[in-house]
Structure 1
Amino acid sequence: MSHEGIRFGRRDEIEAEAEEHFDLTDASTNPAKVRVNKTLGTGMEIDWQDGHKSSWSFAWLRDACPCATCQAEREASGRAVGEPKPKAAAAAPAAVAAAPAEGRVVTQWRAPGLAPRAVAGTIQPVKVTQVGRYAVRFQWSDGHEAGIYSWTYLRRVCQCAECKATQGEAS
């Protein structure tokens, strides 16, 4: 028996999602090998027990955070899972001060309660922790750490060409 958690939402949406992903077996959602390339900064790779291989960049994983806050933000903005925030939206809120003598504007971006985000946009994991036998959690360089990436979730959002084609058919 796998842990699926409690689902909230409209019944028809939850049932449709369950039907859409009915073909995920234990072998397809249990990793044989997990590599988090934290030192190289390239991302995470999983070899699944059914022989499939998945890989994600850290930037994609951060933009696909499954926590409730990030999901609500994506839904409100109409972004797909893994799709980055628009540049203009990422710059707010900002503290702006004009330098009167030179007419320059100085901007320092800091999200409330989070460390300043790197200008280059290179979000990296600071810490990676296994959560039981069903998930992994990242503490990101922008201070965010609420998302628990279950093996089932990661398999559903696999970015290989074969899975992306299947995901496109399901939409």
Structure 2
Amino acid sequence: MTELIKPTDIQTNNSVVVINWEDGHKSIYGARDLRLKCPCAQCIDEWTGEARLDQNTVPSQVEAVEHMLVGNYAVQFLWSDVHYTGIYTFKVLRALCMCELCSSACQ
């Protein structure tokens, strides 16, 4: 079993979400990019895994207004488009990091 790497700090600044991880890594996400990856049942079909979210309904300037930790494994965001049901596991958030280091590790 892989050890779970947890965030030490999460900042929501305008259209950017910044996560500092306990291993020293720093992930910077576009807020809209994260919003479009929402894993909730309203945005992703629970049975097929297909996207249900119409990307055109998400404002280009959507922001993460607030966030809260969910247990010891995830974070939930309140988006400026009033969506809030997605629970992003730390594992998923780390996998969504598109920094140069993480992108090259995926290849």
What TM-score, normalized to structure 1? 0.51
Q: Which runs of 5+ in 1 are unaligned?
A: 1-21, 78-83, 92-116
The answer (yes or no) to whether the contact 2:64–2:78 under 8 Å persists in 1 is yes
Between the two proteins, the alignment pairs up a number of residues equal to 104
Taking the TM superposition and a 5 Å limit, the aligned residue runs for 1:55-94 are 55-72=28-45, 75-76=50-51, 85=55, 90=56
Q: Could you tell me how far 1:66 is from its partner in structure 2? A: 1.4
The answer (yes or no) to whether the contact 1:134–1:150 under 8 Å persists in 2 is yes
- Residue 53 of structure 1: aligned partner: 26
Q: Could you tell me how far 1:69 is from its partner in structure 2? A: 2.7
The answer (yes or no) to whether the contact 1:45–1:53 under 8 Å persists in 2 is yes
Please give the alpha-carbon distance, in whole angstroms, between the structure 1 residues aligned to 2:87 and 2:51. Answer: 21
Please give the alpha-carbon distance, in whole angstroms, between the structure 1 residues aligned to 2:80 and 2:6. Answer: 27
Write out per-residue CA displacement over residues 44-69 of structure 1, whole angstroms, 9 at most, x where no aligned residue: 22222222221111111101111133
Q: Which has the higher helix share?
A: 1
Please give the alpha-carbon distance, in whole angstroms, between the structure 1 residues aligned to 2:105 and 2:37. Answer: 18
Percentage of matched positions with identical amino acids: 35
Taking the TM superposition and a 5 Å limit, the aligned residue runs for 1:91-102 are none
Q: Which runs of 5+ in 2 are unaligned?
A: none
Q: Counterpart amino acid of 2:33?
A: W
| 1:160 and 2:75 are equivalent in the alignment | no
The answer (yes or no) to whether the contact 1:125–1:141 under 8 Å persists in 2 is yes
| 1:149 and 2:88 are equivalent in the alignment | yes
Indicate the structure whose relative CO is greater, using CA pairs within 8 Å and at least 6 residues apart: 2
Structure 1 residue ranges (4+ consecutive) displaced by more than 4 angstroms after TM superposition: none
- Looking at CA atoms only, which structure, 1 or 2, has the larger radius of gyration? 1
Q: Could you tell me how far 1:25 is from its partner in structure 2? A: 2.8
